[in-house]
């Protein structure tokens, strides 16, 4: 009788702790520049056009919805979405990193060619 109660109590505490941790994540786009070094390699330097999207079909994520970027990174992190580079990259990001990166890129404009 005590064992099921202990398991239920532990599950409740773990769920509450997880919810509290998720609630503590507040996106900070100003923290992202130190976190996007790997992103720049394929997705381009913000406000600067690279050849990769045309050659390798890599999406330019500047100006994309923060919710979309965050959902995509979480899916890569969990393994629900797979890509040889994105999956391992996302797995090392914390939820805070993902929120910061998503907020940062959502505030960028789509990259345009330099003149």
d(CA 100, CA 74): 13
pTM: 0.70
Is residue 70 included in any domain, yes or no? yes
Kindly tell me the sign of the dihedral angle through the C-alpha atoms of 88, 92, 95, 97. Answer: negative
**pLDDT digit string, tens, across residues 18-49:** 544 556 999 999 999 999 988 988 887 776 66
CATH number at residue 49: 1.10.760.10
- pLDDT at residue 67, rounded to an integer: 98
Total tally of structural domains belonging to the chain: 1
Is residue 11 included in any domain, yes or no? no
Is residue 68 included in any domain, yes or no? yes
């Amino acid at each position: 009788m005590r064992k099921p109660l202990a398991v239920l109590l532990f599950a409740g505490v773990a769920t509450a702790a997880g919810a509290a941790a998720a609630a503590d994540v507040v996106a900070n786009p100003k923290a992202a520049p130190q976190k996007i070094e790997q992103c720049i390699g394929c997705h381009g330097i913000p406000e600067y056009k690279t050849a990769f999207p045309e050659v390798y079909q890599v999406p330019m994520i500047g100006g994309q919805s923060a919710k979309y970027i965050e959902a995509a990174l979480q899916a890569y992190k969990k393994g629900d979405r797979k890509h040889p580079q994105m999956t391992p990259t996302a797995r090392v990001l914390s939820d805070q990193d993902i929120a910061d990166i998503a907020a940062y890129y959502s505030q960028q404009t789509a990259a345009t060619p330099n003149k």
